[in-house]
């Protein structure tokens, strides 16, 4: 079935350094890839997304890259700050399927050390 | 932006009782809502897709008689955990998307269910 793998499961970086989280999806029909940030006990919040017709998207310190051939997509956070500490989930979806189901990765717990 | 309201945020119930969780889209219409379950430090596991005016679609391994879903209007879906047991204790989160256009999912605040 559809599957999204996410690595690493935990990531610690020094404040100011960059963080990279990688996901791999199995369904080649997937064409939409959102990233969510979830702080402890709170709802997941969409931070950035990318569609399959684009290879890269950037929003200030956050960027996402997509390699459709390899079925990989990655989240890049530059100049990390303590408030970036949270769990990050990637997801893949096929917007043409009509179901709008998201398949989530297993999550990455990011710790930014001050 | 789109807001999804989930209620209650926390509930403690006794084993054998039923608990209803509500999910509302406050400023948009949602023909489809999704119910997820999240175990501590784990990912979001899709339980079922709630479709307005029709039966919910359950994921493999999810008991439809145990987790009753009703999507009676374009702004409200409910999840009822029937005859709850301690193993049903978990964090349940709903999500919804605007029926117009290819908008992303927006999540509710989640409900922490504890069954004693």
pLDDT at B85: 96
Distance CA A20, CA A77 (A): 6
Contact B105 A42 (CB under 8 A): no
pLDDT at A79: 98
> How far B25 CA sits from the closest chain A CA (Å)?
14
pLDDT at B1: 65
Residue of B94 and B31 predicted with greater confidence: B94
What percentage of chain B reaches a pLDDT higher than 90?
68
Beta strands in chain A (DSSP E): 4-7, 10-14, 19-25, 32-38, 45-51, 56-59, 62-67, 72-77, 86-92, 103-104, 108-113
Band (A42; pLDDT cuts 50, 70, 90) = confident
Question: Which residues in chain B have their CB less than 8 angstroms from residue A3's CB?
Answer: none
Q: At residue A84, what are phi and psi to the nearest 5 degrees?
A: -80, -10
Q: What is the mean pLDDT of residues B79-83?
A: 97
Tell me which residue in A41, A44, A100 faces B107 most closely, judged by beta carbons.
A44
Q: Residue B72 pLDDT > 90, yes or no?
A: no
pLDDT one-digit tens code per residue, B38-65: 988 788 899 999 988 888 999 999 999 9
Among chain B residues, CA nearest to A90? B43
The distance of Cα B47 from the centroid of its chain, to the nearest Å, equals 8
DSSP letters for B46-108: EEEEEETTS--EEPTT--TTTEEEEEEETTEEEEEE-S--GGG-EEEEEEE--SSSSPPPEE-
Band (A12; pLDDT cuts 50, 70, 90) = very high
pLDDT one-digit tens code per residue, A90-104: 999 998 887 778 999
Among chain B residues, CA nearest to A49? B104
Contact A41 B110 (CB under 8 A): yes
Name the interface residues of B facing A (CB cutoff 8 Å). Answer: 4, 32, 34, 41-44, 46, 49, 57, 93, 97, 102, 104-110, 112
Q: What is the mean pLDDT of residues B24-51?
A: 89
The distance of Cα B68 from the centroid of its chain, to the nearest Å, equals 10
Q: Could you tell me the strand order of the sheet in which B4-7 lies? A: B4-7, B19-25, B76-81, B67-73
Q: Residue A39 pLDDT > 70, yes or no?
A: yes
Distance CA A35, CA A47 (A): 6
pLDDT at B57: 92
Residue of B25 and B102 predicted with greater confidence: B25
Distance CA A84, CA A62 (A): 11
Question: Which residues in chain B have their CB less than 8 angstroms from residue A42's CB?
Answer: 109-110
């Amino acid at each position: 079935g559809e599957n999204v793998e996410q690595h690493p499961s935990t990531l610690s970086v020094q404040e100011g350094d960059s963080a990279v989280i990688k996901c791999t999806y199995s369904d080649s029909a997937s064409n939409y890839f959102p990233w969510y940030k979830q702080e402890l006990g709170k709802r997941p919040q969409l931070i950035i997304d990318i569609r399959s017709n684009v290879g890269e998207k950037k929003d200030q310190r956050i960027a996402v890259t997509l390699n459709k051939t390899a079925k990989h997509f990655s989240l890049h956070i530059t100049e990390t700050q303590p408030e970036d500490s949270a769990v990050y989930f990637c997801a893949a979806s096929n917007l043409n399927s009509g179901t709008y189901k998201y398949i989530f990765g297993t999550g990455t717990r990011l710790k930014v050390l001050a | 932006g789109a807001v999804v309201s989930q209620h209650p945020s926390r509930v403690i119930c006794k084993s054998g009782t039923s608990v209803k969780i509500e999910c509302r889209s406050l400023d948009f219409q949602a023909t489809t809502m999704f119910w997820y379950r999240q175990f501590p430090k784990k990912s979001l596991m899709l339980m079922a897709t709630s479709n307005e005016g029709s039966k919910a679609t359950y994921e493999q391994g999810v008991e439809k008689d145990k987790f009753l879903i009703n999507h009676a209007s374009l702004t409200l879906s409910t999840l009822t955990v029937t005859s709850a047991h301690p193993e049903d204790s978990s964090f349940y989160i709903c999500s919804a998307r605007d029926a117009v256009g290819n908008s992303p999912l927006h999540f509710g605040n989640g409900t922490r269910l504890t069954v004693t």
